[in-house]
Amino acid sequence: QSALTQPASVSGSPGQSITISCTGSNSDIGTYDHVSWFQQHAGRAPKLMIHDVTNRPSGVSNRFSGSKSGNTASLTISGLQAEDEADYYCSSYTTSATRVFGSGTAVTVL
């Protein structure tokens, strides 16, 4: 039950696009499309941004998009805004019927 691997930090200028990767294994991301992405601002509870690889919940900006290839999922934030500065976590369902989170990525808007 090792955590999924994410880069510790990603940064970009306002208006740019950034992509956060999330690498797992054949026991999680590689087998299931139950990959989610969460945004967490400091001192706040996480918020679901993407579920089932590509799906955005109602109310989430279409600047956020998800994808998956093999054992790696990705979150892309387009048109980066100051309000996007936060920590981002991926998660996946696993072959053990458990759930696993990524190590987290701090996004900085320059």
Partner 1 sequence: QVQLVESGGGVVQPGRSLRLSCAASGLTLNEYGMNWVRQAPGRGLEWVAFISYDGSLQHYVDSVKGRFTISRDDFKNTLFLQMTSLRVDDTAVYYCVKGATKMDFWGQGTLVTVSS
Place of tokens 């990525």: 105
d(CA 72, CA 54): 13
Residues in the chain: 110
Minimum distance from residue 16 beta carbon to partner 1 (Å)? 25
- Is residue 104 a contact residue for partner 1 (CB under 8 A)? yes
Distance of alpha carbon 18 from the chain centroid = 12
Contact characters 42-71, partner 1, x per CB under 8 A: ---xxxx--xx----x--------------
- Is residue 41 a contact residue for partner 1 (CB under 8 A)? no
Residues in contact with partner 1, counted by CB under 8 A, come to a total of: 25
